[in-house]
Structure 1
Amino acid sequence: MTDLNGRAIAVTGAGSGIGRALAVLLAKKGVRLALADKDAAGLGETKALLGNSPATTTALDVTDDTALKAWIDEAAREYGGLDGIINNAGLSIIAPFADTPAADFDRVMDVNFGGVVSGCRHALPHLRGRDAGWIVNISSVFGMMGYPTQSAYNASKFAVRGLTEALYLELAQTDPAIRVIRVHPGGIKTNVARNAKFIKSMPGAPGAMDSASEFEKSARTTPDQAAATIVAGMEKGSPRVLIGGDAKMIDLLTRLFPVSYYKRIGAFLGGGR
C-alpha cells in the first residue's frame, strides 16, 4: 500500500461524474490536485466541493495538445513535481458504424484515445525519478467487448486498453516505480448516456431518451463507488481495476466465450445477436 497523502496528481474530466468524485476523494486523502475539464462551470462546482484543499483548475479540451502540455507542466511547477495523472475525460456517440459521420467518429477517437495518449506523453517525463508515480487510464467494459451503436466508443476504449497494457509492460522494466493502471468501469450512474450524441439506433431499438433511461436503470455503480475502487487500486498498485459487478461478469464471459459472449450477455445489456 502506498500513501497518497501529499502527492500531486492531475485529473482530466474533473467537471462531473467519476472525475469529480475522484477529485473529492483524493482531496480527502491529502492529494494536491490539478483539475481539468472542457466544462468550466462544472469544474468550478468541483472546486467548490474541495473547500480549502490545494487544487488548481484549468478549462481545456484534451484534444488541444499544446494546452494539455502547458497544464501538466504548470501543475508540476505549482507543486514542485507531479506524481500522477488520471486520464478520465471522455465522450460517446450512439449510431451504427454505417451511419456515423466521419467527423463524429474522429472526435470520439481524438478525445477518448488521443487525449489519453497526450496525457501519458506529457506527464511521463515528470513522473520519472520519483519514489512512486501513477498513470491511470480510464477504459471501459466497452474496451473488453463490442456493442452495437458503439463502434467509435469501442474503438477508442480498446485503444486505451492496448496502449495502457503496452505502457505497463514497458515501464515495469524501465521505471518500475510508476504504476500503470487500466480501469474498466461498468455502468456508472453519471450523465454520460444523456450527454452522448444520439444519431441513430439499431432497427427496433429505443430512441435517444428511451436509450438513456434504460442505461440509467441498468447502471449499478455510483461515481463515488467508482472513485473509491480506483483510488484503492492506486494505493495497491493494481495493474487492472474492474468497477462493478457487471464489469466483473463481462470480464469473465469475454474470456470464457471470446466468440459467443454477446449471445450470453445480450439480454443483460439490452439484446442483440
Structure 2
Amino acid sequence: MKALILRWWDSDLAWSWRNTPVAYLSTILFALLLVGAFGAQWVAPHNPFDLTTVELLDALLPPGWMQDGQWNYPLGTDSQGRDLFSALLYGTRVSLLIGLASVVLAMTVGIFVGLIAGYVGGRLDAFIMRVADVQLSFPAILIALLIDGVARAAMPQGMHDILAFPVLIGAIALAGWPQYARTVRGSAMVEKNREYVQAARVIGVAPPVIMFRHVLPNVMGPVLVLGTVHLATAIITEATLSFLGVGVPPTSPSLGTLIRIGNDFLFSGEWWITIFPGAMLVLLVLSVNLLGDWLRDALNPRLN
C-alpha cells in the first residue's frame, strides 16, 4: 500500500496536482465538506431531526454573532428551532449521496451502451445515438422531472417517501447517461481499430472480453473527467427538484429542500435560513467543478 501511494505521488498527475494551487485548494475544500457531511453525527452540535432535542422556543434565532443570537446555534435556527449548521451538514450528506449514486448509475449505463454502440456499429449504433440525440435536445432537469413525475404517478401514495431516493437517483441518472454513451462510443470507435484489438480478434478472443477487458480501460480517462463534472450537475439537479418540491422527503432534507424552506422567510428578515444553505450548495458545486476542470487539463495530453 505504501509503495502504491509513493508511486502515485511520483506520477505526472500528482505533480500536476501539487503545482496547481486551485487543484489542492478545491481538494481541501471538498475534503472538509465530505468530512462534515459523512461525519455529521460526530461533527454537528445537534441532531436537527431528533424531535426530542428540538426546542420550539429557539425558533428563528439569528446567527450567533448577531443581536439575540446564541453561539449554541452558530448559524441560527429555522422556524422549528432546528440548528441550521447541523441541518446543513446532514443536508449536504443527502445531496452528496444522491449525486454520487446517480453519477455511478449514469456512468454504468452510459459506458455499457457506448461500448456496444462504438464496437458493434451499424444499425444498433445509429439507433442508440439517435435516442441519445433526442434526449440531449431536452434540458436534463426536464427529463428528470418527467421521469420523476411518471414514477410517482405509478406508485401508491403511501410509497412516495419510501421510494423517493431510488426514484430521484434513477431520474437523474437516466437524464445523464447520453453524455457518457457518446464519449465512450467515440473513444471505442478509435480503439477498436488499434493493433492490440486486431491481435485479440485474430487469436479468437470473444467480443465482450475485448470490449470490457481491452477497450474499456483505454477509454476511462475522459469518462472520469466527465463523471467529476457530472457530479456537480447531478447535485444541482437534485437541489432543483427538491426546491420544486418533487425531490427528497422533508424528513430527510437535502440542501435544495433547506433552500426551499428558507425561501418562505427570505423577505421577512430571517435571511440566514436560505442564504447559508445556498452558500453551502455553491461551495460544494464550486469545489467539484474546479476539481473536474483540473482533472480535464491534467489528463489532456495536448496540454502536457
Quick check: TM above 0.5? no
| TM-score, L = length of structure 1 | 0.29
| TM-score, L = length of structure 2 | 0.26
Larger Rg: 2
More helix by share: 2
